[in-house]
Amino acid sequence: MDKIDRRNLNNFIIETNNRKFRVEAIFIDLDGTLLDKWPKRISKKNLISIKKQQQTTSIIISTGRSYGKKVKKIMQLLDVEYAICQNGAIVVNKNGEILKNITLNKEQVERVIDIVKEEKLGFTINSEFLIYTDHWLWTTFTFLWRKKWKKIKKYSFKENNVNKIVVAGYLKSKKVWNLANKMQQTIKHTSIKTSGQDKIVEITHENATKGEAALFVANLLRIDINNTIHIGDSENDSTTKGKVGALFAMKDGSTKLIDLASHLGPKHKRGGVAKLLDGDFTELKNH
């Protein structure tokens, strides 16, 4: 395990790459990371740990979720100043003010839709509960996912409105990875990452990443980004690598993230984040 100052667990000290620093801010993902209790709630153990850590450290939510009722509720529960949403496309403060808002342009959106049609998949806009698809099989799955669906021709692009597109339809991770690679090669100026246990592809503008948003928030807080860490479980968390001081992957997260992370924490369930903040992590020496 890496070294933590045991005189005061709130004084979170990290040693990595021959550098030692006190953590001034922690960026934390929600699904698969902080939300450790079914159905997607924060356990008392994680909540107590976060509250304790906040005595000396800024906590920032960093999620792929849209800025809606659930994120607002979590911000209030944790009493955090800022939240990064839609993988970095939106940054919002506790008063609900949108401080950063980056969208995809019409050409980018249309190219995504072309590929969705070619591959017979489905897509959602800004994490809404509406799936656009022309494939009959995925219309049946919308019932299980508690989502509505429409034919793709019903979708109408609105300028400055699309922060993130989620594409779904493949059940095998390898196919999802291949799809993400295809999109990255053909759709210019985008950030394309997998999420949801490598079962979906998320598309945002190249400047709308969790890494870029972390730099933005660190500047608002007037802290050195090198004295921050990010904790997550999906490939979309990998954009913080090389920006924050250390990138922590949950043990039950994406293998793609684990391969890139500087540190490995425990599984996220049953207070995984609390365990990590209490010292249950190892440095991945090859990273």
Q: What are the tens digits of pLDDT across the range 174-222?
A: 999 999 999 999 999 999 999 988 999 999 999 999 999 999 999 999 9
Per-residue pLDDT reduced to its tens digit, 134-182: 987 766 665 555 568 899 999 999 999 999 999 988 879 999 999 999 9
**Per-residue confidence (pLDDT) for residue 231, from 0 to 100:** 98
Of the two residues 1 and 17, the one the predictor is more confident about is 17
Contact 67, 60 (CB under 8 A): no
- How many CB atoms are located within 10 Å of the residue 81 CB? 16
The pLDDT of residue 12: 82
Helices (H), the chain: 44-53, 69-78, 106-119, 136-144, 173-186, 210-221, 255-260, 272-277
Residue type, 159: E
Query: What pLDDT shows up at residue 140?
Result: 62
Residue 129: what pLDDT? 84
In this model, does residue 7 exceed pLDDT 80? no
* Residue ranges of domains in the chain, CATH in brackets: 13-102+208-283 (3.40.50.1000), 106-205 (3.30.1240.10)
Taking 60 as the threshold, does the pLDDT of residue 287 lie above it?
A: no
Per-residue three-class SS string for 216-254: HHHHHHCCCHHHEEEEECCHHHHHHCCCCCEEEECCCCC
pLDDT at 4 over 50: no
Task: Work out whether strand 25-28 and strand 263-264 pair parallel, antiparallel, or are unpaired.
Answer: unpaired
CA–CA dist 269, 8 (Å, integer): 25
Q: How far apart are the first and last CA of the chain?
A: 15
Which helix or strand (DSSP H or E) is residue 202 part of?
strand 200-205
212-263 tens-digit pLDDT: 999 999 999 999 999 999 999 999 999 999 999 999 999 999 999 999 999 9
Task: Report pLDDT digits (tens) over 19-63.
Answer: 899 999 999 999 999 999 998 999 999 999 999 999 999 999 999
